[in-house]
Each structure stands twice: as structure tokens, then as C-alpha cells.
């Protein structure tokens, strides 16, 4: 396999790992708030968070490009501070992926937290657990399946994204060319041998991930239901 | 030892407005129809309800007053929920230790092994909650609550989700808990029979307000409350087993007003038992009846006569020793005997039921 393809796979993996980690950190509080909060704004935020599911990826990528390119919006402001504009960089890819995969992290977590239910937390409260302690020792373990699902879906979905990373990353080999873009480049150049190899690898990785989820889910007995 | 309460909670379509002072000892039954606010009041005491105004003080420790609200996890309560409450991500041991390890060692009054022995849990320790029967789960939940060494145990209809067999399995444990007098219990139930077995005092709730509060015996004997009619005018007595009579297959128990014979029981001599006498099983005589088949005859004094829904009947409130006893007789008999408050007479008791042996009804 060509070195460029290995680099593309490496970029994809790095992007998927970074995105997954950041999204989980970001989405734990967000999903908790969506699951348990009583604010009127919840519906609006719920809809906003789900937007990337239905929005064409190129639309999201285009808006991000407008926002993050050196000439406009946030990009210019960052340049004013002496920082590089995120468009066409790995950072830009991460920002795009965060938004694009957001619903895949939030929804399983929100559903899992809702499944834990108020009662389990009340039980923990009467057993002297503080609110933070209840979250860590009851809500989190009872949401283990949701957490795993969120992580794997984020990872796999980021690995497979195309439109957003193409728009915001600009398809720069060695820097922002991810595996899925490299695959597209091979196919466009009629280099079917390279395309076969790369798609097979991506297929295998995605299948292995799903196998991991379903295998682990069977063994994770605890769900957010009291008996 | 007192639980002083004054709680107001306004919800759409329901207002809880309760002021009461309960002795924090023995079992206090919180009784009322469904929707009367029993569970809500229990949750208020636990600190689980938000938006409730007023105060809660247990033995001088303030849990709530206009300035302070101690959250549930800082109140020294144990709570046994009506339905399932075991964590599925922990085994039985893990569930028991969840509360235990959150209590400082010097504040623990009950050890792990003691709680396991008290509720008979040692064969279950390594099992996961979903494998347990309903009765076993509730026993684990009770032990788990006790292991936080609470100063007050709150139980919300702990038997209501169980079948008869599981109820029979739990009841002796609850009695043992009560008799060890280790911890005051507030026990919610809409089944009066359950409370007649267990409770020492009652708080009667009606649509979010206190209708009456006081010792169980006194409340059962009050004609202005619906309690008498609800269970056919039963009186309960705490008795002590005096001796067994193997020849006639009887057991004698002592109450403040005398001695009662009941069908032979397995309870051991000296044991505290509770007996129940139905008003319709009590007849009255002005002189001590002789040559009668009735064994249980108690000297009594008339306290009060009250009308019954049935115009042919009257309910006579008597005092036997220092305890109330109800008798339902015909209006004609009452007239012929010229019954009046203060009169001394004899109560013949046709049937005495020991409430220990069978499951709650």
C-alpha cells in the first residue's frame, strides 16, 4: 500500500479518536441536561443537536468554511490574535467532525440517561450519595451501554464522513486528506486496485467496531432499570 | 424522641398540608386512601420533594425550616420504596454496601453481618438483583436501608407489590425490627390489616390533611373515625404469652385487663404477640356469666355508646384494664341492659385472633 494511503488512514484514525473523546466529554453534561432538565429551551436544543442528521454534509461544511476561513468570520478574528485559521487544517477537520457527529453522541447518551430514571437516583440519595456521586456511581454505570454505543457510533461515523471534511479540509494530501477522501481520489483517477484495498480496510474496521458493540452489549447486563 | 412536622406542598389538583408531632419510636402507620398524600408526606420527610414549605425536625435536628433545607442525602433516614429499587449494576452485596460505605464508621450502629443475619440474606449475597424473588428483593432493600444506620426508617407500602407468600416471609422480619426497638419506623399503607398487625400509633390522612393521630388502639376505638367501620370494629391488644395448655390445645396470653385463651400457638412463653378481637364477637353481661361455653370473659366498663349504620345495632366502647374494646350488640339488648357510660359489666369474647401467624390481609 502506498505511503499516502497509510497517512490518510492515520489522519482518519486520529480524527476519529480525537472527535470521539472530545464529543463524549462535551456530550455527557449536554445529554444529562437534555435528559433531566426542565428548561423550555430543551426542545430547541434537542432539535439543533439533531440538525446534522438531516442537513447535507456539504451545507454544514460550507457554513464552517465561511466561518473558519482566514478571510472571514472567526478565522479572521483568530488571525488577529496571531492564531492560524482552522480552515484547511486538522483542527478544522476536528471542528467539522464534532458538529457532524454530535447527534451520534448525544442521542444514545440522552436515551440512556432517560432510561436510568429519577427513581434510581432517589434511591441513591436516600443511601447518602451526593448528586455528583449519584451521577458517577449510578447514572454512569447504568448508562454503560449508551456510552459504548455513543463512542462507537461517533468513531465510525467520523471515520466515514466525506462532505464536511472535503469542504473544511480542502483535500490536502498528508494534512487533511482522510481515508474516505483518498478513496474517492483513487476512484476518480480510475486506480481501482488502490480503491479496493482502502475500501476493504474501512469496511473491516467498521464491521469490527460494530461487532465490538453488539458483543459487549450482550454482556453488559445492567441497564437503567431497577428491580 | 419526636418527629415534628409542618409541611405544605401545593400541586395542581392536590394540596398537602400536614402538621403533626409523632413519637419517634415503634412503628407509626401512615394510613389513608390512595391519593390522600401518604407517599408524598413520606417523601417530604425524606427530603425528596422539592417546593415543599414548612419544617421537619427529628429529635431536635432540623432537617427543614424556613431558612434551611437539608437535602435527602444528608438526612439520617432509610427509605424502603414501594416497588423495585435494587441497582442492577451491583450484586446483593454491592447493593448492601452502597449505603454502608457512605456512612462514617463511627456513626454505624449496625454492622454488615448483623444486617445480613437480621434479614436472612447470607445465601443471596453474590446473586444479582434480577435473579431474586420479589420478597428477597424487598428484604435486601430493607437491609440496605438499615445499613445506613438511619435515625428514622421510612417504608412506603413495602409489602404491596408482593404476593401472599412473600408478605408472610417479610412480616416476621418487620416485627423483629419493631420489637428490637432499635429504630423508629414510619410505615405507609392503605391496608388497615397490615397496620393493625404492626403499628403502635397511626396518622390518618384524608385528602392531604391529618384527620387523626394517636395510639393505634385509641384510634381504632374512636367512633368518629372511619377506621372502625373499615375493619368491622376490631380492637387490638399487645399481649404476652403466659403459658401453653397442651391438653386442651390452648395458649394463654396476658393483656392489661386480664387473661385470654387463644388456639394453641407456636409463640414461646414471654413473647410479645398482638391479638385482635372483632366487635361482633363481643357480647355483654351485667353479672359474670357462669356455666357458659365462652372461655374469655373480661371485666369491663362502658365508656360510650354510638349509633351504627345499621339501625338495629349499637357500638359500645368499653375499657378493659386500661385498653379500649369495642362490642357490637343490638339496640334492643342495650336498652334491656340499660347500658350507660360508667357502668361496670362483663365482656364475653367469642373469638380472639392472634395476628402473628398469618400473612397480612
Looking at residue A1, its pLDDT comes to 64
Q: Is residue B360 part of a domain?
A: no
E strand or H helix that includes residue A111: helix A90-126
Measure in Å the smallest separation between the Cα of A225 and chain B Cα atoms.
7
Q: Is residue B3's pLDDT more than 70?
A: yes
Question: Using CA atoms, how far apart are residues B178 and A131, in angstroms rounded to an integer?
Answer: 32
Class for the domain spanning A3-219: mainly alpha
Across all residues in chain A, what is the average pLDDT?
A: 90
Q: Is residue B324 part of a domain?
A: yes
Across all residues in chain B, what is the average pLDDT?
A: 91
Please tell me which residue, A196 or A87, carries the higher pLDDT value: A196
Mean pLDDT, residues A14-27:
96
The pairing of beta strand B53-58 with beta strand B27-31: unpaired
Mean pLDDT, residues B229-250:
88
Q: Is residue B359 part of a domain?
A: no
Nearest to B48 by CA among B39, B58, B60: B39
Closest in A129, A131, A142 to B102, CB measured? A129
Give contacts of B88 with chain A, Cβ < 8 Å. 142, 221-223, 225-227
B81 and A123 within 8 Å at the Cβ level: the answer is yes
Q: For B249-281, how does the pLDDT look when each residue is reduced to its tens digit (9 = 90+)?
A: 999 999 999 999 999 888 889 888 899 999 999
Tell which of B42, B43, B85, B99 to mutate to test the A interface (max A CBs under 10 Å): B85
Looking at residue A44, its pLDDT comes to 93
Q: For B23-51, how does the pLDDT look when each residue is reduced to its tens digit (9 = 90+)?
A: 888 899 999 998 999 999 999 999 999 99
Q: Give, in degrees to the nearest 5, the angle at Cα A22 between A19 and A23.
A: 80
**Whether B7 and B153 share a structural domain:** yes
Q: Is residue B106's pLDDT more than 90?
A: yes
Q: Which three cell numbers stand for residue B101?
A: 460505605
Give the model's confidence band at B357: pLDDT under 50 very low, under 70 low, under 90 confident, else very high: very low
The CATH number of whichever domain residue B194 belongs to comes to 3.40.50.300
Residue B195 structural domain? 2-220
Residue of A nearest to B99 (CA): A127
E strand or H helix that includes residue A95: helix A90-126
Final residue belonging to a domain, choices B187, B220, B253? B220
For the purposes of burial, counting CB atoms within 10 Å of the CB of B236, is it exposed (0-12), middle (13-18) or buried (19 or more)? buried
A221 and B128 within 8 Å at the Cβ level: the answer is yes
**Whether B205 and B331 share a structural domain:** no
Please tell me which residue, B161 or B228, carries the higher pLDDT value: B161
**Whether B243 and B341 share a structural domain:** yes
Q: Is residue B228 part of a domain?
A: no
Question: Using CA atoms, how far apart are residues B201 and B196, in angstroms rounded to an integer?
Answer: 10
Give the model's confidence band at A224: pLDDT under 50 very low, under 70 low, under 90 confident, else very high: low
Looking at residue A47, its pLDDT comes to 92
Q: For A75-127, how does the pLDDT look when each residue is reduced to its tens digit (9 = 90+)?
A: 788 888 888 888 889 999 999 999 999 999 999 999 999 999 899 999 999 99
A180 φ, ψ to 5°? -70, -35
Residue of A nearest to B79 (CA): A126
Nearest to A143 by CA among A38, A31, A39: A31
Q: For A151-174, how does the pLDDT look when each residue is reduced to its tens digit (9 = 90+)?
A: 999 999 999 899 999 999 988 888
Mean pLDDT, residues B169-186:
82
Query: Does the CB of A213 have a partner CB in chain B at under 8 Å?
Result: no
Q: Which three cell numbers stand for residue B48?
A: 425528596
Looking at residue B360, its pLDDT comes to 38
Measure in Å the smallest separation between the Cα of A213 and chain B Cα atoms.
18
**Whether B189 and B269 share a structural domain:** no
**Whether B34 and B174 share a structural domain:** yes
Give the model's confidence band at B193: pLDDT under 50 very low, under 70 low, under 90 confident, else very high: confident
pTM for the structure as a whole? 0.86
Q: Is residue B347's pLDDT more than 90?
A: yes
Mean pLDDT, residues A30-34:
94
Query: Does the CB of A130 have a partner CB in chain B at under 8 Å?
Result: yes
**Whether B266 and B211 share a structural domain:** no
Q: Is residue B174's pLDDT more than 70?
A: yes
Q: Give, in degrees to the nearest 5, the angle at Cα A119 between A121 and A227.
A: 110
Q: Is residue B359's pLDDT more than 60?
A: no
Query: Does the CB of A136 have a partner CB in chain B at under 8 Å?
Result: no
**Whether B213 and B248 share a structural domain:** no
Considering its fold, how many domains does chain B have in total? Answer: 2
**Whether B258 and B294 share a structural domain:** yes
**Whether B188 and B60 share a structural domain:** yes
The CATH number of whichever domain residue B332 belongs to comes to 2.40.50.100
**Whether B35 and B70 share a structural domain:** yes
Query: Does the CB of B137 have a partner CB in chain A at under 8 Å?
Result: yes
For the purposes of burial, counting CB atoms within 10 Å of the CB of A139, is it exposed (0-12), middle (13-18) or buried (19 or more)? buried
Query: Does the CB of B139 have a partner CB in chain A at under 8 Å?
Result: no
Nearest to B255 by CA among B318, B322, B351, B317: B322
Domain segments of chain A: what residues?
Answer: 3-219
Give contacts of A130 with chain B, Cβ < 8 Å. 73
E strand or H helix that includes residue A32: helix A3-36
Residue of B nearest to A131 (CA): B73
Q: Is residue B225 part of a domain?
A: no
Give the model's confidence band at A217: pLDDT under 50 very low, under 70 low, under 90 confident, else very high: confident
Mean pLDDT, residues A50-75:
87
A142 and B130 within 8 Å at the Cβ level: the answer is no
Measure in Å the smallest separation between the Cα of A159 and chain B Cα atoms.
32
Looking at residue B233, its pLDDT comes to 76
Residues 63-92 of B with CB under 8 A from A: 71-74, 77-79, 81, 84-89
Amino acid at each position: 500500500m502506498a505511503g499516502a494511503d497509510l497517512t490518510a488512514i492515520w489522519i482518519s484514525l486520529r480524527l476519529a479518536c480525537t472527535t470521539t473523546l472530545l464529543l463524549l466529554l462535551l456530550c455527557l453534561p449536554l445529554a444529562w441536561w437534555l435528559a433531566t432538565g426542565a428548561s423550555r429551551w430543551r426542545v430547541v436544543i434537542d432539535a439543533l443537536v439533531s440538525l446534522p442528521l438531516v442537513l447535507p454534509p456539504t451545507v454544514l461544511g460550507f457554513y464552517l468554511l465561511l466561518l473558519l476561513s482566514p478571510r472571514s468570520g472567526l478565522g479572521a478574528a483568530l488571525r488577529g490574535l496571531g492564531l492560524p485559521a482552522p480552515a484547511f487544517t486538522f483542527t478544522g477537520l476536528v471542528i467539522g467532525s464534532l458538529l457532524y457527529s454530535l447527534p451520534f453522541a448525544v442521542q444514545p447518551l440522552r436515551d440512556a440517561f432517560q432510561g436510568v430514571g429519577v427513581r434510581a437516583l432517589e434511591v441513591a440519595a436516600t443511601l447518602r450519595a451526593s448528586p455528583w456521586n449519584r451521577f458517577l456511581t449510578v447514572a454512569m454505570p447504568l448508562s454503560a451501554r449508551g456510552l459504548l454505543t455513543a463512542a462507537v457510533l461517533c468513531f465510525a461515523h467520523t471515520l466515514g464522513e466525506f462532505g464536511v471534511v472535503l469542504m473544511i479540509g480542502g483535500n490536502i494530501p498528508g494534512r487533511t486528506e482522510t481515508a474516505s477522501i483518498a478513496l474517492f481520489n483513487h476512484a476518480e483517477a480510475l486506480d481501482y486496485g488502490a480503491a479496493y484495498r482502502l475500501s476493504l480496510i474501512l469496511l473491516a474496521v467498521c464491521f469490527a467496531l460494530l461487532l465490538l458493540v453488539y458483543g459487549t452489549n450482550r454482556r453488559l447486563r445492567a441497564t437503567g432499570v431497577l428491580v | 424522641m419526636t418527629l415534628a412536622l409542618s409541611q405544605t406542598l401545593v400541586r395542581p389538583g392536590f394540596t398537602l398540608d400536614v402538621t403533626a408531632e409523632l413519637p419517634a419510636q415503634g412503628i407509626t402507620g401512615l394510613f389513608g386512601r390512595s391519593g390522600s398524600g401518604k407517599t408524598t408526606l413520606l417523601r417530604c420527610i425524606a427530603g425528596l420533594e422539592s417546593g415543599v414549605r414548612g419544617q421537619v425536625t427529628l429529635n431536635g435536628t432540623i432537617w427543614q425550616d424556613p431558612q434551611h433545607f437539608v437535602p435527602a442525602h444528608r438526612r439520617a433516614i432509610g427509605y424502603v420504596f414501594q416497588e423495585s429499587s435494587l441497582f442492577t449494576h451491583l450484586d446483593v452485596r454491592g447493593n448492601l454496601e452502597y449505603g454502608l460505605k457512605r456512612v462514617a464508621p463511627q456513626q454505624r450502629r449496625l454492622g454488615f453481618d448483623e444486617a445480613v443475619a437480621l434479614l436472612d440474606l447470607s445465601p443471596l449475597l453474590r446473586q444479582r438483583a434480577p435473579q431474586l424473588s420479589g420478597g428477597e428483593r424487598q428484604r435486601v432493600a430493607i437491609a440496605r436501608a438499615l445499613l445506613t444506620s438511619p435515625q428514622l426508617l421510612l417504608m412506603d407500602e413495602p409489602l404491596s407489590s408482593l404476593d401472599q407468600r412473600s408478605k408472610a416471609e417479610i412480616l416476621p422480619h418487620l416485627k423483629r425490627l419493631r420489637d428490637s426497638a432499635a429504630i423508629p419506623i414510619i410505615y405507609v399503607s392503605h391496608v388497615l390489616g397490615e397496620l393493625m398487625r404492626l403499628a403502635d400509633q397511626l396518622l390518618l390522612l384524608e385528602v392531604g390533611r391529618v384527620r387523626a393521630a394517636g395510639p393505634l388502639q385509641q384510634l381504632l376505638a374512636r367512633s368518629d373515625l372511619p377506621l372502625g367501620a373499615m375493619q368491622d370494629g376490631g380492637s387490638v391488644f399487645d399481649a404476652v404469652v403466659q403459658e401453653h395448655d397442651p391438653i386442651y390445645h390452648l395458649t394463654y396470653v396476658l393483656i392489661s385487663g386480664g387473661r385470654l385463651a387463644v388456639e394453641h400457638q407456636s409463640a414461646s412463653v414471654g413473647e410479645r404477640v398482638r391479638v385482635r378481637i372483632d366487635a361482633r364477637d363481643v357480647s355483654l353481661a351485667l353479672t359474670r356469666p357462669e356455666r357458659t361455653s365462652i372461655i374469655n370473659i373480661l371485666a369491663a366498663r362502658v365508656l360510650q355508646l354510638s349509633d351504627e349504620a345499621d339501625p338495629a345495632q349499637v357500638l359500645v366502647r368499653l375499657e378493659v384494664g386500661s385498653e379500649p374494646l369495642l362490642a357490637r350488640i343490638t339496640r334492643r339488648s342495650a336498652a334491656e341492659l340499660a347500658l350507660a357510660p360508667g357502668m361496670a359489666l362483663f365482656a364475653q369474647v367469642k373469638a380472639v385472633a392472634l395476628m402473628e401467624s398469618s400473612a397480612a390481609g
